[in-house]
């Protein structure tokens, strides 16, 4: 229901943008189709339990379009396996909306709403610039979802310093909102010099026992070689008091 409302919102914004243009304004904005498919072939060396197979791990299909000078819309499908413990889990394929939202950008201000990528480890992934061999720490241990429903705001104070604020459901893009809890995240990014990046992030997930996350990242880009370090701490994991990660 919420994703349907998001798509209707995007459509209505596109209609209002078109109606709001003057008759003489015929500027055409182009859309872009994208796709990524991750597959592999594996051969097991264990003689007792050897498995050999081709695998299709995950696929992304998306479309993004500039609606006007400042408004952008995008939709992206994530086709992959569900996160369960069934032995047949990897044989199933389900399609989820990974992104479906509207973005506004004007100068140093960026605002967005809908189903979008979260920023808790986006800076780190962009810093490395390549796909991880394994999931990043925060993703692997479910410290936060990679995408979620909500709204965000970012402001770039200068070329060196920026901040972002996000309010979301907290359950992730594959789970609907079923309660009245919300997750609020605040991030600060600082680049004192061109190749050096610092990132601080704090999030609180409201509940009777609030779940809080603190993370810090520092990385230096040497071109073909990059080095970085990250620290993550989550209090009251899954709203269990004193269960920390």
pLDDT for the residue numbered 75: 92
* pLDDT, tens digit (0-9, with 9 covering 90-100), for 178-214: 667 889 999 999 999 989 999 999 999 988 899 999 9
d(CA 57, CA 176): 24
d(CA 39, CA 92): 15
The domain tally of the chain equals 2
**Residues, the chain, total?**
245
Q: Are residues 56 and 122 in the same domain?
A: no
Residues 68 and 116 in one domain: no
Residues 139 and 226 placed together within one structural domain of the fold = yes
Regarding whether 139 and 41 lie in a shared domain, the answer is no
At 162-174, the pLDDT tens digits run 999 999 988 887 7
Write down which residue in 106, 136, 153 finishes a domain. 106
Q: How many CB atoms lie within 10 A of CB 200?
A: 15
Predicted pLDDT of residue 86: 53
Of 31 and 132, the one with more pLDDT: 31
Phi, psi torsion values for 36, nearest 5 degrees: -140, 135
Count CA atoms within 13 Å of residue 56 on its CB side.
11
The answer to whether 96 and 77 are in contact (CB under 8 A) is: yes
d(CA 75, CA 94): 16
Q: Based on the domain organization, do 19 and 128 belong to the same domain?
A: no
Shortest CA distance to 14 belongs to which of 62, 74, 76, 61?
74
| Residues 102, 123 share a domain | no
> If pLDDT is split at 50, 70 and 90, which confidence band does 90 have?
low
Rounded Cα distance, 139 and 130, in Å: 16
- Tell me: do 157 and 194 sit in the same domain: yes
* Residue 127 near residue 228 (C-beta atoms within 8 A): yes
Is pLDDT at 12 greater than 70 in this prediction?
no
Q: Which domain range does residue 5 map to? A: 1-106
Of 106, 125, 153, at which residue does a domain stop?
106
Lowest-pLDDT range of 31-40, 81-90, 190-199? 81-90
On whether both 38 and 136 belong to a single domain, the answer is no
Please tell me whether residues 146 and 63 are part of one structural domain.
no
- Same-domain check for residues 167 and 227: yes
Statement: residue 19 has pLDDT above 50: no
Helices H, strands E: what count in the chain? Answer: 3, 11
DSSP 179: S
* Boundary-marking domain end, from 87, 106, 125: 106
Residues 135, 218 within the same domain = yes
Report residue 196: phi and psi, to 5°: -110, 130
38-56: pLDDT as tens digits: 888 888 887 676 777 887 7
pLDDT for 3 equals 47
> Between the CA of residue 210 and those of 118, 148, 239, what are the distances in Å?
19, 19, 6
pLDDT bracket for residue 20 (50, 70, 90) = very low
**Maximum distance among all Cα pairs of the chain, rounded to whole angstroms:** 73
Q: Do both 57 and 146 map to the same domain?
A: no
User: Highest mean pLDDT: which of 88-97, 119-128, 194-203?
Assistant: 194-203
């Amino acid at each position: 229901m919420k994703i349907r409302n998001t798509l209707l919102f995007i459509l209505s914004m596109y209609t209002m943008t078109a109606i709001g243009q003057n008759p003489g304004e015929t500027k055409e904005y182009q859309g872009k189709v994208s796709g990524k498919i991750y597959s592999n072939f594996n051969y097991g060396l264990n003689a007792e339990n050897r498995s050999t197979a081709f695998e299709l791990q995950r696929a992304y299909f998306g479309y993004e379009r500039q609606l006007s000078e400042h408004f952008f819309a995008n939709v992206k499908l994530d086709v992959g396996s569900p996160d369960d413990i069934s032995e047949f889990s990897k044989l199933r394929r389900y399609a989820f909306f990974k992104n479906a939202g509207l973005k506004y950008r004007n100068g140093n201000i960026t605002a967005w709403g809908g189903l979008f990528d979260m920023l808790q480890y986006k800076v780190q992934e962009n810093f490395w610039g390549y796909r991880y061999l394994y999931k990043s720490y925060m993703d692997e241990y479910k410290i936060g979802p990679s995408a979620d429903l909500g709204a965000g705001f970012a402001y770039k104070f200068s070329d060196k310093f920026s901040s972002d604020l996000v309010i979301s459901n907290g359950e992730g893009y594959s789970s609907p909102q079923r309660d009245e809890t919300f997750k609020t995240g605040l991030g600060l990014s600082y680049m004192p010099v061109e190749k050096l990046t610092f990132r601080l992030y704090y999030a609180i997930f409201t509940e009777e026992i609030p779940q809080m996350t603190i993370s810090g990242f520092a990385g230096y880009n040497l071109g073909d070689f990059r080095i970085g370090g990250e620290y993550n701490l989550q209090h009251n994991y899954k709203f269990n008091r004193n269960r920390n990660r």
